[in-house]
Amino acid sequence: MGRPLRYVPPKSLVEVTCRTIQGRFLLRPSRDLNDLAYGILGRAARLYDVGVVAFGFLSNHGHLLLVPFDARELGRFMNYLDGNLAREAGRLHEWHDKFWARRYRPIPVSDEPIAQVERLRYVLAQGCKEGLVRSPLQWPGPSSTEALLNDNKVRGLWFDRTAEYRARLRGERYTKYEYASEEELVLTPLPCWSELSNEERRDCAGEIVREIEAATRKTLTDADRTPVGRRRLLAQHPHDRPKGSKRSPAPRFHAATRAARVSLELGYYRFRLAFRQAVADLRAGRRAEFPQGSFPPGLPFVAHRGPPLAQG
């Protein structure tokens, strides 16, 4: 089965999901893992034109809300993030096999405030909706919740492994943090909140967190359950995996109304139609016109030159 076309309207909100191989707990929270994840995220955002709105990583998968300049920048950002996170977490947990189950999956979100806030709520609820913790603030792994409620900043560490390698070649001894540097990630506002002040955005995020806490409390009470808790979460072995997991087909878009979804679907339909026609022309030896924002097979990325064809 071929991979779906990467359709990312420029400068739009996108939800990205990435999962570890076989659902193994290779992203199990720890101080070292958190520092690494924050550092890699901060460096990736600094190197590529992608705004990070929110993120949450459980032990075997992660969700991010991003605002990329275009599909190419998103691809570069995710390649950097996934590649470095796989190497560092693999090193940390002594995992030397494939790390990710498949390529990241981007899902565009409509410009409707309701749709955007709902996706933010979903990302912040990681750990609560699974019954692992009572509050988003209690999740011990990489998360943007505290930053959204405070100064919109997260800080982590970037390790220069090339410098460490060269030091070993020279026969030098070095400490764990000798070639480490701090990276800072400043979160990008949710597009529908871009006109709000920092204080207003913090208040909105706080309201979402309180709603998640109330919903989690009700769910646990109705089911007569207690959350798994921090102690048991941190005791999991990174190479283990859950006995079973619920998986549902990912939607092509997130939208609050039928009109918005139809508009996004129409944009994708035009994009796919133009892409397939260009592939047919290329195979027939004719001049091929691939749509803006696409990755032609064996050819360079087609950058946007104006109002994109892909937007209905």
Mean pLDDT, to the nearest integer, of 283-298? 93
Q: Are residues 25 and 167 in the same domain?
A: yes
Residues 35 and 94 in one domain: yes
Do 185 and 56 belong to one domain? yes
Angle at 191 between CA 68 and CA 79, to 5 degrees: 20
Residues 96-105, mean pLDDT to the nearest whole number? 92
Does the structure show a pLDDT above 60 at 1?
Answer: no
Beta-carbon count within 10 A of 114 CB = 13
CA–CA gap between residue 90 and residue 97 (Å, rounded): 8
Considering the domain architecture, whether residues 186 and 271 belong to the same structural domain is answered as no
Q: How many domains does the chain have?
A: 2
Average pLDDT over residues 47-60: 96
Average pLDDT over residues 93-106: 92
Count of all residues that appear for the chain in the document: 312
Q: Which two tokens stand for residue 164?
A: 């460490």
Q: Contact 192/117 with Cβ under 8 angstroms?
A: yes
Which band of pLDDT confidence, cut at 50, 70 and 90, is reported for residue 245?
Answer: low
Residue pLDDT, tens place only, 126-160: 999 999 999 999 999 999 999 999 999 999 999 99
Instruction: Give CA angle at 29 (26, 31), nearest 5°.
Output: 120
pLDDT of residue 2: 61
Per the CB < 8 A criterion, the answer to whether 192 and 111 are in contact is yes
First-last CA distance in the chain = 27
Pair (219, 300) in one structural domain: no
Percent of the chain whose predicted confidence (pLDDT) is above 90: 85
Predicted local distance difference test score (pLDDT) of residue 306: 61
* Domain shared by 204 and 308, yes or no: no
Q: Which of 22, 24, 78 is nearest to 236 (CA)?
A: 24
Regarding whether 170 and 291 lie in a shared domain, the answer is no
Whole-angstrom distance, CA of residue 155 vs CA of residue 42:
7
Pair 35, 100 in one domain? yes
Whole-prediction pTM: 0.92
DSSP code per residue over 256-276 = SSHHHHHHHHHHHHHHHHHHH
What's the whole-number mean pLDDT along residues 49-57?
97
89 and 188 belong to one structural domain: yes
Among 172, 195, 230, identify where a domain stops: 230
Same domain for 137 and 278?
A: no
- The amino acid at residue 239 is H
Residues 63, 42: Cα–Cα separation, whole Å: 16
> Is residue 26 in some structural domain?
yes
d(CA 25, CA 189): 30
Looking at the structure, tell me whether residues 209 and 283 fall in a common domain: no
Are 218 and 269 part of one and the same domain?
Answer: no
pLDDT (average), residues 215-229? 92
Q: What is the CATH number of the domain that holds 186?
A: 3.30.70.1290
pLDDT recorded at residue 246? 67
Domain with 266, as residue range(s), is 257-312
Q: Is 6 contained in some domain? A: no
d(CA 136, CA 205): 11
Residue type, 167: A
pLDDT at position 312 is 36
* Confidence category of residue 249, pLDDT binned at 50, 70, 90: confident
- C-alpha 251/C-alpha 236 separation (Å) is 31
